[in-house]
Amino acid sequence: MECSARPSLSRTPLIRNSIYHKVLRSVSTIPTSEPSLHTNEKEDKIHQGDHYVKIPDRGLLELYGSDTVKFLQGLITNDMPSISSGGDGFYAAFLNPVGRVMFDSFIHPKNLGTSFPQPTFLVECDSRIIPEIIKHMKKYLLRSNVKITDVSSFYQIWNVWGNKINNLWWRNQVPNPSATKLHSGALVLKENIAEIGCRDKRYPNMGLRLVLPVDIKPTVPNSFTELPSKEYIIRRILHGVPEGIHDFPQGEALPLQSNFDYMGGIDFRKGCYIGQELTFRTYHTGITRKRILPVQLYHEGESVPTTLELDRNSNFPLPPPSSNITVLNRKGRPVGSIGTSYHNIALALLKLDIIQNNDLVVDNGQGEKLRVKAFIPNWWPKVEDGKDTEEKPKETAVVI
Amino acid sequence: MHIEITDRAVKQLKYISEQEKNSNNALRITVDSGGCHGFQYFYDLMESNSFKEDDVVFENDGVKVVVDEISLGMIKGSKIDYTEELIGSQFQVSDNPQAASGCGCGISFEIKV
């Protein structure tokens, strides 16, 4: 068992006069021989253009005190020192000691202006399990100087996306726009549409995530229009971005299965944190056999979907979260489970070697077996043909 | 609420006192959050005349081990041992009845709920 963030040396075969340039990484078992169906790169019709939405079901805990950075560093999968002096927040997971996901979260430095660095952070997580998160944190608090307060009622989280978002996040504010040249040493002010927030990097085009006081709307140009909160959920499903208690049932999924690696939520170089041991070992030596993917639900007798197509008129009963997905007429263990669902689409944790199967079914909770068709998000890292599971470290001979 | 100090730990602490020519040494054991299993043991040498209010002192053959109240709740019933292994020689809390599992190096542990 490794405890520190160093790969065990004994596993690396020593070859004289050669240097390994590549370290083994975890691979996913996506079958590469047959073409898999990918999600559409284009946004849904309603999501095209510049938009902003209120993100539903998110709460915030404020952590304040001199030990906050050290305390969170021991609890999360991402690297606190990188945001300890303020700036943008990041995505991270809280794991339990055996390495399973307890909660997904964003950690936002509460940029307090000139009085920073005062270590104050907002931990953004599912609002429906705030008491459990506080309990989880308090277990490890001991004598740490950290105060935990539920501040959910003071803030609203927003998602802003579209082509123009780059001009909203830390734009330069030139003091005199008509001047052709600034004199040397001129200060160029930078302006931001929110003090607290970040670029949401889980999916490349996800957009900005803003934490604003509860009564304030994002100040965006006229080209941006507000969409109802449910569009956030739909967009999340269409692009395969899991979030909250339905996609991460507490203490069940592993962080790599939950795409935290693809979504930039894990720093594999940081030192010990709760659950690191298994996560780190899987990354270097293991294979990830399951992942969370977008799926389309349809009825028996309908043709198998070839593109992930949202049907906003669809309102059939949906399977409750954590419903088992099975292969039709095959006995044995379930091959996956359902997470968030809306209209005719859902997120599902599925075994990757069966995702091309057209006989996947899930019970809708009322006795009907819905068909499940899985799609691979187009933004996932591509696995090239032939260098899948058996990838060997490449050697470069060095003459000494 | 008892903590056993093994003969090996006694021997090592006496050896340290001898080396440092200071018979006032005591071993402080603290539990704090950290490590891959959530909680971590910390070991410090201290002057045995600088106890704090909530400290509990255990003694074996003149050797003192000091544990504060918060930490004691999580290591009571354990043995304080000194191990010499390939991975390194160190003081170690072993057979902790409160620990559900531990990491390979024995420094980090998970607490039973």
Minimal Cα distance from B71: which residue of A? A142
Q: Is domain A45-239 annotated with CATH 1.25.40.10?
A: no
pLDDT of residue A86: 83
- Whether A272 sits inside 8 A of B38 (CB atoms) is no
Cβ contact A294:A308 at 8 Å: yes
pLDDT of residue A332: 83
Reply yes or no on whether the pLDDT at A1 is more than 90.
no
Reply yes or no on whether the pLDDT at A388 is more than 50.
no
Phi/psi at B15 (5° precision): -60, -40
Residue of A67, A94, A140 best to disrupt the B interface, most CBs of B under 10 A: A140
Reply yes or no on whether the pLDDT at B86 is more than 90.
no
- Whether B36 sits inside 8 A of A3 (CB atoms) is yes
| Encoded tokens for B88 | 């390194």
- Whether B33 sits inside 8 A of A97 (CB atoms) is no
- Whether A143 sits inside 8 A of B31 (CB atoms) is no
pLDDT of residue B12: 93
Q: Which CATH class is domain A290-374?
A: mainly beta
- For A232, residues 6+ apart whose C-beta sits below 8 A from its C-beta are A53, A54, A55, A56, A159
Phi/psi at A297 (5° precision): -105, 135
DSSP secondary-structure letter at A63?
Answer: E
Reply yes or no on whether the pLDDT at A383 is more than 80.
no
Note the pLDDT tens digit of each residue in A72-102. Answer: 999 999 999 999 888 899 999 999 988 999 9
* CB-nearest partner of A144 from B33, B100, B107: B33
Measured over the CA atoms of residue B59, residue B62, residue B66 and residue B69, the dihedral's sign is: positive
Q: What are the extents of the domains in chain B?
A: 4-106
DSSP secondary-structure letter at A137?
Answer: H
A33 compared with B43, residue with greater pLDDT: B43
Calculate the CA A338 to chain-centre distance.
17
Average pLDDT over residues A117-141: 91
Query: What gap in Å lies between CA A107 and CA A118, rounded to an integer?
Result: 15
How confident is residue A18, by pLDDT bands cut at 50, 70 and 90? very low
Query: What gap in Å lies between CA A201 and CA A169, rounded to an integer?
Result: 14
Minimal Cα distance from B31: which residue of A? A142
* CB-nearest partner of A276 from B36, B70, B100: B36
Q: Determine which of A34-43, A120-129, A231-240 has the lowest per-residue pLDDT on average.
A: A34-43
Note the pLDDT tens digit of each residue in A250-265. Answer: 999 899 999 999 999 9
Cβ contact A236:A197 at 8 Å: no
How confident is residue A17, by pLDDT bands cut at 50, 70 and 90? very low
Residues of B in contact with A143 (CB under 8 A): 32, 70
DSSP strand pairing (A147-150 vs A120-126): unpaired
| Encoded tokens for A231 | 């569009």
Residues of B in contact with A141 (CB under 8 A): 33
Taking the CA of residue A391 and the nearest CA in chain B, the distance in Å comes to 28
Average pLDDT over residues B24-50: 88
Cβ contact A345:A297 at 8 Å: yes
Taking the CA of residue A271 and the nearest CA in chain B, the distance in Å comes to 8
Residues of B in contact with A97 (CB under 8 A): 36-38, 100-101, 110
B69 compared with A118, residue with greater pLDDT: B69
Amino acid at A178: S
Q: Any idea what the Cα angle at residue A77 is, between residues A1 and A23, rounded to 5°? A: 55
Chain A residues within 8 Å of chain B (Cβ atoms): 1-4, 71, 74-75, 97-98, 139-144, 272-277
Nearest C-alpha neighbor of B84 from the set B4, B17, B3, B12: B12
Residue with tokens 């057209």: A358
Chain B residues within 8 Å of chain A (Cβ atoms): 31-39, 70, 100-101, 103-105, 107-108, 110-111
Taking the CA of residue B103 and the nearest CA in chain A, the distance in Å comes to 6
Q: Which CATH class is domain B4-106?
A: mainly beta
Residues of B in contact with A255 (CB under 8 A): none
Q: How many CA atoms lie within 13 A of A46 on its CB side?
A: 16
b/e per residue, A337-358, with b = 16+ CB within 10 A? bbbbbbbbbbbbbbbbebbbbe
Q: What are the extents of the domains in chain A?
A: 45-239, 290-374
Q: Determine which of A64-68, A102-106, A118-122 has the lowest per-residue pLDDT on average.
A: A118-122
DSSP H/E element including A397: strand A395-397
Phi/psi-derived region of residue A222, left when phi > 0, alpha when psi is between -120 and 50, beta in every other case: alpha
Residue of B36, B107, B112 best to disrupt the A interface, most CBs of A under 10 A: B36
* CB-nearest partner of A3 from B31, B103, B110: B103
Reply yes or no on whether the pLDDT at A2 is more than 60.
no
Calculate the CA A162 to chain-centre distance.
19
Taking the CA of residue A8 and the nearest CA in chain B, the distance in Å comes to 12
Which residues in A219-289 belong to E strands, given as ranges?
225-227, 287-288
pLDDT of residue A127: 96
- For A114, residues 6+ apart whose C-beta sits below 8 A from its C-beta are none
Query: What gap in Å lies between CA A352 and CA A30, rounded to an integer?
Result: 5
Reply yes or no on whether the pLDDT at B107 is more than 90.
no
Query: What gap in Å lies between CA A370 and CA A351, rounded to an integer?
Result: 18
Cβ contact B108:B35 at 8 Å: yes
DSSP secondary-structure letter at A400?
Answer: -
Minimal Cα distance from B104: which residue of A? A1
Residues of B in contact with A274 (CB under 8 A): 35-38
Note the pLDDT tens digit of each residue in A330-366. Answer: 888 899 999 999 999 999 999 998 888 888 999 998 8
Query: What gap in Å lies between CA A317 and CA A299, rounded to an integer?
Result: 11
Residues of B in contact with A277 (CB under 8 A): 36-37, 103-104
pLDDT of residue A393: 43
Residue contacts between A and B (CB atoms, under 8 Å): 53
Query: What gap in Å lies between CA B20 and CA A156, rounded to an integer?
Result: 59
Residue with tokens 């968030």: A340
pLDDT of residue B5: 94
- Whether A272 sits inside 8 A of B111 (CB atoms) is no
Taking the CA of residue A142 and the nearest CA in chain B, the distance in Å comes to 7
| Encoded tokens for A62 | 């404020």
DSSP assignments along A175-202, one per residue = S-TT-SSPPTT---EEE-S-SEEEEE-S
- Whether A140 sits inside 8 A of B33 (CB atoms) is yes
Residues of A in contact with B100 (CB under 8 A): 97
Q: Is B54 exposed, middle or buried (0-12, 13-18, 19+ CB in 10 A)?
A: exposed
| Encoded tokens for B22 | 């200071």
Q: What percent of chain A has pLDDT above 70?
A: 80
Reply yes or no on whether the pLDDT at A22 is more than 70.
no
